[in-house]
Structure 1
Amino acid sequence: MGPGGCAFLLSLLLGSFISSFQKKTLQSVCGRPVYSGRVVGGKDAAATRWPWQVSLQLSNSHVCGGSLLSDRWIVTAAHCLQMTRIPFLYTVQLGSVERDNLDEGVILRVSQIVIHPTYSNVSGDIALLRLFSRVTYSSSILPICLSNVKKKRLIIPDSCWVTGWGKLKEEDADYPTILQEAEVPIIKRQKCENIYNPLGSFLPQIQPVIMETMICAGDVKKGKDTCQGDSGGPLACHIDGIWILIGLSSWGRGCGISFPGIYTNVTYYQKWIMSVISRAEVLGANNLNLSDFLFSIVPLSLALLGPSCVFGSNILPGE
C-alpha cells in the first residue's frame, strides 16, 4: 500500500475514533448543570444554573444571547448578526451570570459564522458560530443537549425556561447585568396563530404567521416574556432528566404584553446543525486540540494498518 492510501486509511481510523470519543464525552456532560428570568417578569439566575448561556458581543458590547452546543460551537439567532458578518469582530462570554464580569467568565473570539441558507426576516432565524479555541468545561461552562433525533417525536413539557440579559421592560433604556430567568408556558401553534393572526381562520388562503419552524411560548397574564437583548438565547426544557434546547428567542410583538414570544424551532433545524458541525470538524481535523491523544493513538493506528504504512514527521496536528 502506498503512502497516499495509508494516509487515507489512517485518517478514517482516527476520524472515527475521535468522533465517537467526542460524541460520548458530549453526551455525558450536556444538559446537566451542577445546580439542581428578563427576560420580562423573571428573576436573577443562580450561578451555574444555566452553564450553556452565552453573551454574544460585538465590539465588547452585548448584542444577543446564545447557547453552547459543544466545546467549539455556539448556536444563536441569525438576525443577531445583521450588523456585520465578519467573524473576528464578535466575541462570546461564557461562565458567568454577571455580564461583563471578566473575573468570573471567559471571553472567546468567533472564527466562523454559518447562517441558515433559508434565513429571511423571521424565517430560518438560526446561525452557528465556531470559536477560535475550544472551551474547557467546568461547573459554570457546559453545553446544552439537542434532542435525540432518533426519536420520532419530541414531547415538549407544558412549560420551559428562557434566560437572557435582555431588557426588563420594553421601554427600558438599560439592560440588566445579572442573567435573568423565567419559566414560560408553551403555547400550541394553532392557538398562537389565532393570537397573532385572528383573521386567519376566516381567510384560509393567507399564509400562516406561525410556521412549523417556530415555537410559541410566554405568559401574557404574568408578563413573562423575552425582550430586546434576549434574542438568540435558549428556550430550554427539562426532559427525561436533562436540559434540551428546543428554541431560540427570535421575534414577537412587544415584551410581555398581549403577545407571547416566538422562538426558532431548534429541533426542526437539528439535522442542519449536525451537518454543519460534522463537516466543519472533518475539514478542520488538523486543528483539533488533541495532540497528546494523537501522540498515543497514531503508533497504534499505524500498527493496525500494517508495516507498509511509513510516514515522515509531518503528521502532527497543529492549532
Structure 2
Amino acid sequence: MTLLRALFIYFLIGLSPVLPSFLSSPVCGSPKVPGRIVGGENAVDGGWPWQIAVNYNGRFICGGSLISEQWVMSAAHCFGNSLDYYSISLGMYQLGGSNPHGVTIGVKEIIIHPLYIATGEKGDITLAKLSNPVNFTDYIQPICIPASTVTFPTGLDCWVTGWGTRSSGGSLPNPNTLQDVMTPLIDYVQCNQMYVEGYSMSYYTTIIQEEEICSGYLEGGKDSCQGDSGGPLVCEVNGTWIQAGIVSWGEGCALAGYPGVYTLVPAYESWIKTYIPEIIFTNVSIPPPLTTDLRGSDQKGWCRRKI
C-alpha cells in the first residue's frame, strides 16, 4: 500500500457566518478576485486567497489554508516541532516568481493532532499559529470552516489547489504557478470499497477512515499530487466557500480507482475550537447534487496529489 506521500518532505529536510460589526475580520470564504479555471490549469491570482504555502528552512514543502488572522491549517505529516525552521507564505501566486501581494511570516506555535501516527491514519491535521496576525487584503482572506454537523455529499463538485508536482514523482516547475482542479466528492464508505478492490483486500478491511473524505473520478486523470499535502479542498455553497478537506494521501496520482484522500475538516471541530475558540464555524445544509456521475467527461487535466 503506497501511503508514503510524506517522504517528499523528508527528502527535503448555506452560508458563511455573520460576524459582529465590531470585528475586523472579513466574512470568510468570499474571494474579492473572481474567476477560476476548469480542468486543472493555472489558478487566477487572488482567486483562492486562503491558500498558503508552508516553508521549511526557506523551502516550500506543503500547502495549507488561512482560517483566521493568526492561524493556518494544514496536514500533520507536513510538520515537526522545530518552530525556527518553519514559515508561512500568504497571498502567493507563483513560487519562485514575482508575488507583489505576498508576505511571509514566522510560526509561533505548532499543534499536531494527538491521534496522528502516520499518513493514512486518523488525525492528519495541524494548526499553526503565525508569529504575528496577518493583515487581510484582496489576496489574503480566510476560508470558512464547517461545523461538525455539516455533511458533504458524494458527487458534489469541489476544488483543490496547490503548488505540488504535475505527476507522481515529478519535480516542481519554476516558476511554480498555483494550480486548481475540480473533482467530485466521494464518501469514505464508497472510497474504502474502491481502495479495497484495488488492493484486492477483504471487503471488511478499513483503509479509508470515517474522518476522511475522497475526491476524484473513477477513471482518474485529475487529482492532487506530491507537494499538495496540507492544501485545501473547498466547496462553494450558496456563494460561500467552505473547506471540506485537507490534502492527505492517496495511491499514486490520478490513478483510476484510487481517488485522492483528504482529512475531513468537520470531524475536527471540537479539537479546532479547543485552540481557537474565537473561530465561528459555518453550519449549513448541503443538498446532494442532482447526479452523482463520477466518470467525468475530460480526463486530460491536472494530475496532483499529496507529499
TM-score, length-scaled by structure 2 = 0.75
In structure 2, the residue matched to 1:132 is 131
Kept in 2, the 8 Å contact 1:187–1:216? The answer is: yes
AA aligned to 2:53 is S
1:92 alignment partner, one of 78, 88, 93? 88
Structure 2: unaligned runs, 5 residues or longer: 1-18, 280-307
Partner Cα distance (1:193, 1:108) in 2: 38
Residues 202 and 99 from structure 1, CA distance in 2 versus in 1: closer, same or farther, beyond 3 angstroms?
closer
Kept in 2, the 8 Å contact 1:220–1:256? The answer is: no
Tell me by how many angstroms 1:24 deviates.
5.1
Tell me by how many angstroms 1:181 deviates.
0.2
Q: Which has the larger radius of gyration?
A: 1
Counterparts of 1:3-22 in structure 2, within 5 Å, are none
Partner Cα distance (1:113, 1:22) in 2: 30
Tell me by how many angstroms 1:188 deviates.
2.6
Partner Cα distance (2:31, 2:201) in 1: 47
TM-score, length-scaled by structure 1 = 0.73
Tell me by how many angstroms 1:268 deviates.
0.2
In structure 2, the residue matched to 1:213 is 211
AA aligned to 2:233 is L
| Residue 181 (structure 1) aligned with residue 180 (structure 2) | yes
Runs of 4+ in 1 over 6 A off after TM superposition: 199-202
Aligned residues: 251
Residues 202 and 255 from structure 1, CA distance in 2 versus in 1: closer, same or farther, beyond 3 angstroms?
closer
Counterparts of 1:1-319 in structure 2, within 5 Å, are 25-26=24-25, 28-36=26-34, 42-81=40-79, 84-100=80-96, 101-121=98-118, 122=120, 123-149=122-148, 152-156=149-153, 158-175=156-173, 177-198=176-197, 203=202, 205-206=204-205, 208-221=206-219, 223-258=221-256, 259-278=258-277
Partner Cα distance (1:77, 1:191) in 2: 23
Partner Cα distance (2:74, 2:63) in 1: 7
Q: Secondary structure at the match of 2:277?
A: helix
AA aligned to 2:253 is C
AA aligned to 1:70 is S
Kept in 2, the 8 Å contact 1:246–1:267? The answer is: yes
Question: Does 1 or 2 have the higher relative contact order (CA < 8 Å, sep 6+)?
Answer: 2
Tell me by how many angstroms 1:222 deviates.
5.5
Q: Secondary structure at the match of 2:94?
A: coil
AA aligned to 2:134 is V
Q: Which shifted more, 270-279 or 84-93?
A: 270-279
Tell me by how many angstroms 1:42 deviates.
1.3
In structure 2, the residue matched to 1:310 is none
More helix by share: 1
Residues 251 and 75 from structure 1, CA distance in 2 versus in 1: closer, same or farther, beyond 3 angstroms?
same
AA aligned to 1:56 is V
AA aligned to 2:108 is S
